[in-house]
Amino acid sequence: MKHDDPLPPRPVSDSQSEMTEIVLPNDANPLGSLLGGRLMHWIDMAGALAAHRHSRSYVVTASIDHLDFLVPVHVGDLVILRSSVNRVFNTSMEIGVKVWVEHYLNDECQHVSSAYLTFVAVDGSGNHLAVPVVVPETDEQKRRYNDAGARREIRRAHLERRNSVSR
Ligand SMILES: CC(C)(COP(=O)(O)OP(=O)(O)OC[C@H]1O[C@@H](n2cnc3c(N)ncnc32)[C@H](O)[C@@H]1OP(=O)(O)O)[C@@H](O)C(=O)NCCC(=O)NCCS
């Protein structure tokens, strides 16, 4: 459950990440709109970038919360995904990913989706590792840190309900 030497606390800004994709025909349905599943994959990758950088370890995706697709994205559009560590618990961390579509022809950006993912840090054998504390610095980071605590309680309640039903 531990790194050999516990890693020092790290600010959110150290691991904030950005990923850009151009939507190609292979990413789209027959109407030329981005497939939801492809966007989910990119969200997972963008989340993993921040999780790897913060924890300095391998990670596995434990969960992805509810996901809405707010506007359609089309072939040729640029998709920008920004990820940051919202909060660290013990071996897990919540990562927020916000997705934007950039219509470069008219210089317009629209919010496409926001997602919260939980990653668990693991070593090469799959053993869970303690994750270094994350330090929120800005007001926005502090708000996300507090909100992540409330979301963790909702997830735990959901897991308990699921486990009691499957017993
Ligand atoms: C996620 C996984 C590592 C959890 O392992 P586990 O031994 O069942 O979980 P534990 O009860 O020991 O919990 C470990 C941590 O994961 C968290 N966790 C477990 N299940 C979770 C879930 N569904 N959502 C959010 N967090 C979860 C726990 O809260 C705990 O966090 P903490 O240490 O920060 O308190 C394990 O179920 C797994 O490996 N799943 C497959 C992951 C995978 O392959 N993902 C890719 C997509 S298939």
Q: Give the tens place of pLDDT for each residue, 48-106.
A: 999 999 999 999 999 999 899 999 999 999 999 999 999 999 999 999 999 999 999 88
Q: What is the CA(135)–ligand 1 centre distance, in A?
A: 23
> Which residue's CA is the nearest one to ligand 1's atom 31?
92
Q: Record the tokens describing residue 116, joined without a space.
A: 């919260």
Number of Cβ within 10 Å of residue 56's Cβ equals 14
Q: How much is the pTM? A: 0.95
Structure tokens given for 96: 């927020």
B/e letters for 109-118, b = 16+ CB within 10 Å, e = fewer, are: eeebbebbbb
| Collapsed DSSP state (helix, strand, coil) of residue 118 | strand
Chain centre distance of CA 77: 21
Any residues with CB less than 8 A from the CB of 73 and at least 6 apart, and which? 23, 33, 34, 39, 79, 101, 112
Structure confidence at residue 118 as a pLDDT band (50, 70, 90): very high
User: What is the CB < 6 Å shell around ligand 1?
Assistant: 60-63, 89-92, 118, 120, 128, 155, 159
What CA–CA distance (Å, rounded) separates 80 from 46? 10
